[in-house]
Amino acid sequence: MTESKDGREIEMSKLIAYVGTKDLQEVIVSDIRDLDIINIAFGVIKDGRASWDHPECKPVLSQIRVQNPKLKILLSIGGWGAPGFSDAAMTQNSRELLVMSAMGIVEEYSLDGIDIDWEYPCIRVGGIDGDRRDKENFTLLMKEFRTVFNQGGDREYFLSIAAGGDEYFTRCTQMYEVQRYLDYVQLMTYDLKGGFTNLTGHHTGLYSNQVDLFSASADKAVEYFIRAGVPREKLVLGAAFYSREWRKVPDIDHGFNQMAQTVGNYGPPYHTLVDDYINKNGYVRYWDKDAKAAYLYNGETFISYDDEESLKCKVNYMKKKHLYGIMYWEYGCDKTHTLTGWIRKNMDIDRQR
């Protein structure tokens, strides 16, 4: 907590970035100072053990800590299509093996904890195994992590998860139990539209547009997780530094809520949008005031993305709802090096008054 000039206590919101292993050395000093937590993406599971073998990163991590001693650095294990979680969580022995191997990495690299990005318990998608027992085993795995972390003596270790930003994740987990072992829950409130549908829409919209046939949104995700038993002060809202794009989209309503001839594949990162797309080369930037979301359309291609306006709306929402903070995927998608500072500036406005 800190105090404003009138003596009011203001919650210290957290800004969290996913940073790819190869991008650690690219994080600029101003961003290091603006961030509260870095999640290194990704460690994996091999033969039931956590694995992240990058000794070349040790001097980089040391330098980052010099530049911001308060910054916490976690290893995120998993990601889309990452196998091994269901088997690793299945028994007490397998859970202990995964947790102790992860703890070994934390100690070797002097990290501050572990982030689990299991996409997704119980669901066999993206090439991973799944089992109905994942629902209970996910809870037991988080309990095992917390038990071991609590044995760290004077050292405090962080434990977090990245959670799918829709109701399917709360259906397939026991979040009211899981949250007891976690410091915070990061909602992946992006990819809400895209790879599974031809219908265009906002992949990281804060709210739903009333005419949208599929109403997933960041706001709905927050409400799902609160109803599932996660305290709002443990929830982290997700933002996207990349886009989703649909091609061969009918020129109706600037391409919004139209059936495309492709699904919403990954589109350009933010820096490419700035250089070549936003109000350039035939693309026009539009703003959906209902969804608080930006999008582009050129008469044929529809692109959904976050920008400064939509990010400011998310920060204001995070404050209004008293959430833990904001996280984004991912650092390497903004080579303009403007969005991290922009989010931090808007998070800190109340503390500057």
Supply the Cα-derived Rg of the chain in whole angstroms.
20
Query: What band does 33 get if pLDDT is binned at 50, 70 and 90?
Result: very high
pLDDT in tens, 191-209: 999 989 999 999 999 999 9
The dihedral over CA atoms of 161, 163, 167, 170, expressed in degrees to the nearest 10, equals: -20
pLDDT in tens, 243-269: 999 999 999 999 999 999 999 999 999
Structure tokens at 5: 């000039």
Say if residue 12's pLDDT is above 90. no
Q: Would you state the pLDDT for residue 9? A: 39
Pick the CATH number of 2-241+306-352 from 1.20.120.160, 3.20.20.80, 3.40.1190.20, 3.10.20.30: 3.20.20.80
Backbone dihedral angles phi then psi of residue 118, each to the nearest 5 degrees: -90, 110
- Domain locations along the chain: 2-241+306-352
Q: Closest by alpha carbon to 331, among 17, 37, 15?
A: 17
3-state secondary structure of 199: strand
Enter the DSSP assignment of 330: -
Q: Would you state the pLDDT for residue 351? A: 58
Classify residue 6 as exposed, middle or buried by CB count within 10 Å of its CB (0-12, 13-18, 19+): exposed
